[in-house]
Structure 1
């Protein structure tokens, strides 16, 4: 639908927060419009002011803030409205979808009740009418078996289905403006494609304006009509999406686009490639792969029992990891890819025995990990370190980062006192952080800096293998590029091996030597990165590839046929026996699973 009249007009918006008796400006003199039927994307790194802008429009900023300027919605400046008047606009004239639906939905209320509650509040419907309308809304956002799903609690739904419920609540009163703040960042690539396609369809049906907040330039190219680029609280560039991508004028916009990985960029390139030269202004050398395997996983199986009833009897098992086998060489990166629930993170935890497998073999540097006692297992864990997705929850907020990095040195008896302090300084310098930072706390760092600190802590014990579990998934595009370049540099210098767990296919293509695709707890395709990306053979692998948004608006796909299917459950009855599988070699070291 072509743009019509403005649904939103922001003029001279300034937002400041009072911290330690000082006013800090986070949004400065911001101007833009969103027309009916138009999608405007606000892009920028964390801290650029894009989410604060969205919260200002929705009127939900904390008391320690100061706003000036004008935010015109339906002809009214919402900055002059009192809270009761604002509540009347929220949900009816404007609505908002947040990044994490599980924290937005009430966990103790059924999803149908929550949608009906919005209808009762804003439209004054009777309960019976509201419940019927709620089911129709759930059907409208393509939730299968909507009547049955309406009686379920949020934790029983997948991430994609929970986000659909949030969209249903937001659209309950047909708002003229929908604000979507990073609504697909935490979703897998296939679920993201479903949600983007759904939002485009619903926008065409309702004719609303859409303000889309994101740092994913692929998503911007897929959905936006115009783009507003923010940096340090200011708008530095604005224009039609094709113009911004083809001829960015501001240096920050150019840097933002240069850091975007594009699927297919690695065609014909053998080794992983950094986004930019290293800190020494030279290309990162490719790590020399050593043929002998460092890690061998054979038939790894991890299941979780489900119990019910007064007697707490086992009624079935969740087959999270089923008969997984692979090898990882020294100085090699193997990527495990797949959607949430496929078992890739549990595979990484099973290797370290953070969860206990029920069977299989894990051999690391000639040692059978699953047979080790506590003391020997602790020794192996010194050589296998793990970096998790959320660096903030990985670091103790009450502990200075220098102490956090020094802790594994002391625990493993590697260094103490001034020797440990010297090692901490060297580690901080290695990951590009000033040694003075060791006296600061985690909340004083950005997300990318915190992830560098986690890498420094992992390097403290000189590991041979790092399991990176979605280690860059939550980072902004430029910070993600910096962390990937750092990891490649460390691999080249130290001969590190990486088990890289991710659902970001473009990053995997740039960073990995080999790729293993997981589905329902099993590896369904594995091979060299060039083979898997150049000739994806399994249908599920092709599905993953096709769902990746292309950061090129000129190649914007035609509206996709929405696939409402969820990944089948891996819950099995007690007497279930997995079918036998074998792997067909479709190319050199490129194997695809088939059932016999």
Structure 2
């Protein structure tokens, strides 16, 4: 990065930006008198929690707000040119050409009826005048750079067949395709694995050095900020409350809100040799909090025993659309879980974490293996027996909004499982709903509201309340805190630990955020291409990783301190392995070696 060497004028100069929305006939400002600039080759991070005005600032710069419902005042200059004075055709040339933008939610930014390769190639043909064949070759190169596995085949797939992380990589490829003067990245790595995140940050850094691209990086991840930012602008409720060089801001934050943001960041390795989960510190108004003491270990008898679990999906092709291969999503996975224990399942997108969780709950049908839950073999269970067992097994999904019915009040959503299973009905169910909402830190009167009236963190609490309605002993939490702000993430993790202590819950915690995993787990299982490559006590896995892949995951975790910015290893250019196998493929025999008590590593 060359932010300190910018001699010419800034690429982006924002002065006194005020953006207002029309509410009930009146203009309500949501970004208020904000000024900042970004020089050639410089990265400026705009940080703050949900609702601080970060994304509205970006959409104002791109002029993507609805005209009759929004009002942009102030001055926005791109390389000296006043963006607010451009007509719409000229602004269309700027978007995607001079300014590239990576949006936070890739599925809403991609056209669901067009192949992903076509959508990226379209940008190259429109803004760089490439021929169809040249654009396709360049798209393939970009897909390889952002580490989309089996890139040539996936050019011709539709967005719905990509995972969330894969869709985000395609969006990043699209934004970088035209080598823009300014890249606006709105939470671009929130849903990505640490290794892919490191790769994307490296790719952006290389482009900066190559073409002097300026970067406006919107995030709530202070680890990423420490890794890439030259300067930091902190926003709170539409105001800029602090601006400073990254090193100075981390070393001596001045505003209490900045101190709170930094205090809520989990630091990998901060728990030393502790073997039990530990709550995040409760921060005071200055962002200071004491590290909580270790809780006594409350694990009891084993309630879940999974052996040689295998789940595959058919790949069809040819004129008759017959099976031509299989996606080996989960291959010979064995694990156990005790009451009151948290086992974290970590690994990159596509490694089989979520499929493992869904297969254990029999939401997906495994091809082989055994699942014994509270002494009952779920693979041999009848539909009625399985329905009864599922009362004691619940799942918290990654996207709380997608798992709540927008037309139902949250009270009805929480009460529904109780009514379906005949546990409670009428006034009795309503009383229990109020108790559950209080248990997760909300109010009983919130039962009458709809999902859209809550923040992301509150919606996740509602999903936790719903999962507790049937008094389960096992909860599978699938990336349940990955998209939340740092302080909200800390609150939800603390809530889960409190509930575990109070109710003796067992958690299968699926995540790619290893710093959070360190806080919440007793044991960690690392997955790669559908297989567990290492499993053991949390402190042993993090302090003494044995498998090369585990080491790679831990090394890629951003360090929230600019003073210890790690040396980048350069772009990884080799093709990612695909989990697709031919129909006659059989898994090779695997051998696990002991690396200490309860610590097993696949021979490699």
Q: Same fold (TM over 0.5)?
A: yes
The answer on 1:24 being equivalent to 2:28 is yes
What is the DSSP-based 3-state SS (H/G/I as helix, E as strand, rest coil) of the residue aligned with 1:290? coil
Per-residue CA shift, 1:19-59, capped at 9, x if unaligned?
Answer: 34443321111111111111000011111110110010011
- Partner Cα separation in structure 1 for residue 367 and residue 539 of structure 2: 34
The answer on 1:237 being equivalent to 2:242 is yes
| CA shift for structure 1 position 173 | 4.4
- Partner Cα separation in structure 2 for residue 174 and residue 310 of structure 1: 40
Say which of 570, 582, 592 aligns to 2:579. Answer: 570
Q: How does 1:73-92 map to 2 (within 5 A)?
A: 73-92=78-97
- Partner Cα separation in structure 2 for residue 332 and residue 365 of structure 1: 14
Corresponding residue number in structure 2 for 1:206: 211
Residues 287, 492 of structure 1: 8 Å contact kept: no
Gaps of 5+ in 1: none
- Partner Cα separation in structure 1 for residue 541 and residue 526 of structure 2: 9
Corresponding residue number in structure 2 for 1:546: 555
The answer on 1:327 being equivalent to 2:350 is no
Per-residue CA shift, 1:112-133, capped at 9, x if unaligned?
Answer: 654453344335x3x53x7436
Corresponding residue number in structure 2 for 1:298: 307
The answer on 1:593 being equivalent to 2:595 is no
Residues 38, 215 of structure 2: 8 Å contact kept: yes
| CA shift for structure 1 position 379 | 1.4
Corresponding residue number in structure 2 for 1:35: 39
Corresponding residue number in structure 1 for 2:287: none
- Partner Cα separation in structure 2 for residue 523 and residue 201 of structure 1: 34
Q: How does 1:85-484 map to 2 (within 5 A)?
A: 85-106=90-111, 108-109=113-114, 113-123=118-128, 125=129, 128=131, 131-132=133-134, 135-136=137-138, 139=141, 143=145, 148=152, 152-153=156-157, 155=159, 166-277=171-282, 286=295, 288-484=297-493
Per-residue CA shift, 1:535-581, capped at 9, x if unaligned?
Answer: 10001101111111111111111232211335411111111111111
What is the DSSP-based 3-state SS (H/G/I as helix, E as strand, rest coil) of the residue aligned with 1:328? strand
| CA shift for structure 1 position 77 | 2.5
- Partner Cα separation in structure 1 for residue 270 and residue 236 of structure 2: 27
Say which of 517, 524, 545 aligns to 1:536. Answer: 545
Residues 138, 168 of structure 1: 8 Å contact kept: no
| CA shift for structure 1 position 410 | 1.2
CA RMSD of aligned residues (A): 2.5
The answer on 1:49 being equivalent to 2:23 is no
- Partner Cα separation in structure 1 for residue 150 and residue 581 of structure 2: 24
What is the DSSP-based 3-state SS (H/G/I as helix, E as strand, rest coil) of the residue aligned with 1:391? coil
What is the DSSP-based 3-state SS (H/G/I as helix, E as strand, rest coil) of the residue aligned with 1:245? helix
Corresponding residue number in structure 2 for 1:7: 11
| CA shift for structure 1 position 215 | 1.1
Per-residue CA shift, 1:360-404, capped at 9, x if unaligned?
Answer: 111111111111112221111111111001000111100011111
Residues 30, 235 of structure 1: 8 Å contact kept: yes
Residue 268 and residue 378 in structure 1: after superposition, are their counterparts in 2 closer, same or farther (change >3 A)?
Answer: same
| Bigger Cα displacement from structure 2, 284-293 vs 516-525 | 284-293
Gaps of 5+ in 2: 285-289
Residue 146 and residue 35 in structure 1: after superposition, are their counterparts in 2 closer, same or farther (change >3 A)?
Answer: farther
- Partner Cα separation in structure 2 for residue 311 and residue 209 of structure 1: 51
Residue 229 and residue 338 in structure 1: after superposition, are their counterparts in 2 closer, same or farther (change >3 A)?
Answer: same
| Bigger Cα displacement from structure 2, 309-318 vs 401-410 | 309-318
- Partner Cα separation in structure 2 for residue 74 and residue 408 of structure 1: 57
- Partner Cα separation in structure 2 for residue 505 and residue 241 of structure 1: 23
Residues 97, 178 of structure 2: 8 Å contact kept: yes
| Bigger Cα displacement from structure 2, 177-186 vs 77-86 | 77-86
Residues 362, 370 of structure 1: 8 Å contact kept: yes
| CA shift for structure 1 position 76 | 2.7
| CA shift for structure 1 position 464 | 0.7
| CA shift for structure 1 position 509 | 0.8
Per-residue CA shift, 1:485-520, capped at 9, x if unaligned?
Answer: 000111111111100000111100111000000111
| Bigger Cα displacement from structure 2, 559-568 vs 381-390 | 559-568
- Partner Cα separation in structure 1 for residue 37 and residue 434 of structure 2: 48
| CA shift for structure 1 position 284 | 8.0
| Bigger Cα displacement from structure 2, 156-165 vs 36-45 | 156-165
